């Protein structure tokens, strides 16, 4: 697969070009028509989401560099895929993320400080998956696709599909995860049991340091056919197309028509995580080629060309993003370190004779250090 350019087979759903030109609709090979019908306010809202999500992500990266987070997985460059798909979810739909879906998390209404607590090491992530319909971050590569498949099978067993207001499930993963056994097993089970599930692969071109050609000999979306369900590739830097394709796939699932795989063709502009050095395995010209496809710049160009937004609007959005980033930083720095004994409070919140005994012994052990230099 060519680096830094368009997919070689030309099959790519795009509704907004890198120059900000609007495409009215695109018809897929199966006859599905992809389009969006947004108001001017909704277009401006998508731009606001993209800018704020990027700014918060940049602040988290800065916090890690300053020693305030243990690690951070940036979404830089992938904002459109996440915001587009995140806004396509209905309130009843359930999402299963990796550790990079900060944009989807934001779209689900979760306080953006929540994943920073996880990466600061003060908690395991503090949101309620049932309340927000957004599962906890998953560090093990690809494991969440099996969780999502099981959950989706349960949705079917509960009779919650077959209508326009039925439930659907979405599982996020990267291109590298497609080489994991868990993901392929999830494909098999979802296909065989016709699970109401969307597999959303953010193909950012690299599995940490391995390029896509080390992962597959064919475009990723075409793998779906081997498991018996449709696959489609979308311009992952196009927030409108990402929305339209995801909404269509989710509706397909909620009506009881089974799974779909979406390959969001995008690019990781930064490091895989803050412990990675991407300059060791990719060249600057490749990054520059993708910078010309920046998901935020193309939406801004569209808004300007259509006179949907003016300079004052863009300045106001930038100021809001800055305020939210500063507020996020202040709250992270104010996070108290948890008492070590709280490790016993969560897995077995009601305790047990054995856990209670272990807790008591641990408490005595900690108390033995009082007054010492340890």
How high is the pLDDT of residue 148? 98
In a 13 Å sphere around the CA of 61, the CA atoms on its Cβ side amount to 19
pLDDT digits (tens, 9 = 90+) for 45-86: 999 999 999 999 999 999 999 999 999 999 999 999 999 999
Catalytic residue among 147, 254, 268, 329: 268
- 280: DSSP letter: G
DSSP 286-307: HHHHHHTT-HHHHHHHHHHHTT
pLDDT digits (tens, 9 = 90+) for 123-150: 888 899 999 999 999 999 999 999 999 9
172 assigned to active site: no
What pTM value is reported for the model? Answer: 0.92
- The answer to whether 258 touches 195, Cβ cutoff 8 Å, is yes
Catalytic residue among 272, 298, 300, 329: 272
Catalytic residue among 214, 281, 323, 348: 281
How high is the pLDDT of residue 10? 57
> Over 80: is that where the pLDDT of 349 sits?
no
Q: How confident is the model at residue 372 (pLDDT cuts 50, 70, 90)?
A: low
Of 218, 209, 204, 210, give the one whose Cα is nearest residue 175: 204
268 assigned to active site: yes
> Over 60: is that where the pLDDT of 296 sits?
yes
217 assigned to active site: no
Token pair for residue 261?
């795989």
pLDDT digits (tens, 9 = 90+) for 206-260: 998 888 888 899 999 999 999 999 999 999 999 999 999 999 999 999 999 999 9
């Amino acid at each position: 697969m060519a680096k830094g350019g368009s997919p070689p087979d030309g099959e790519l759903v795009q509704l907004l070009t890198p120059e900000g030109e609007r495409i009215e609709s695109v018809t897929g090979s199966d006859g599905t028509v992809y389009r969006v019908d947004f108001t001017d306010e909704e277009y401006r809202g998508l731009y606001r989401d993209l800018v704020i999500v990027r700014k918060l992500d940049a602040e988290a990266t800065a916090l890690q560099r300053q020693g305030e987070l243990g690690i951070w997985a940036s979404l830089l460059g992938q904002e459109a895929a996440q915001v587009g798909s995140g806004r396509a979810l209905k309130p009843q739909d359930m999402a299963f993320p990796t550790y990079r879906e900060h944009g989807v998390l934001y779209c689900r209404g979760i306080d953006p400080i929540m994943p920073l607590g996880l990466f600061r090491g003060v908690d395991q992530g503090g949101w309620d998956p049932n309340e927000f319909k957004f599962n906890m971050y998953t560090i093990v590569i690809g494991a969440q696709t099996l969780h999502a498949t099981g959950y989706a099978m349960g949705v079917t067993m509960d009779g919650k599909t077959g209508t326009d207001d039925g439930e659907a499930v979405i599982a996020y993963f990267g291109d590298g995860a497609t080489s994991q056994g868990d993901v392929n097993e999830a494909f098999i089970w979802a296909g065989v049991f016709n699970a109401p599930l969307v597999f959303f692969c953010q193909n950012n071109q690299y599995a940490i340091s391995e390029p896509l050609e080390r992962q597959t000999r064919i475009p990723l979306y075409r793998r779906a056919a081997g498991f018996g369900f449709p696959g489609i590739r979308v311009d992952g830097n196009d927030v409108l197309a990402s929305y339209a394709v995801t909404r269509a796939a989710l509706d397909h699932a909620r009506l009881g028509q089974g799974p779909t795989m979406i390959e969001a063709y995008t690019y990781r502009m930064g490091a895989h995580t803050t412990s990675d050095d991407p300059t060791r395995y990719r060249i600057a010209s490749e990054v520059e080629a993708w910078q010309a496809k920046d998901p935020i710049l193309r939406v801004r160009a569209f808004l300007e060309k259509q006179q949907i937004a003016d300079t004052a609007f863009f300045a106001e959005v930038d100021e809001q993003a800055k305020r939210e980033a500063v507020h996020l930083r202040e709250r992270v720095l104010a996070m108290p370190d948890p008492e070590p004994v709280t490790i016993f409070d969560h897995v077995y919140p009601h305790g047990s004779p054995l856990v209670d005994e272990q807790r008591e012994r641990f408490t005595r052990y900690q108390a033995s250090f009082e007054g010492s230099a340890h």
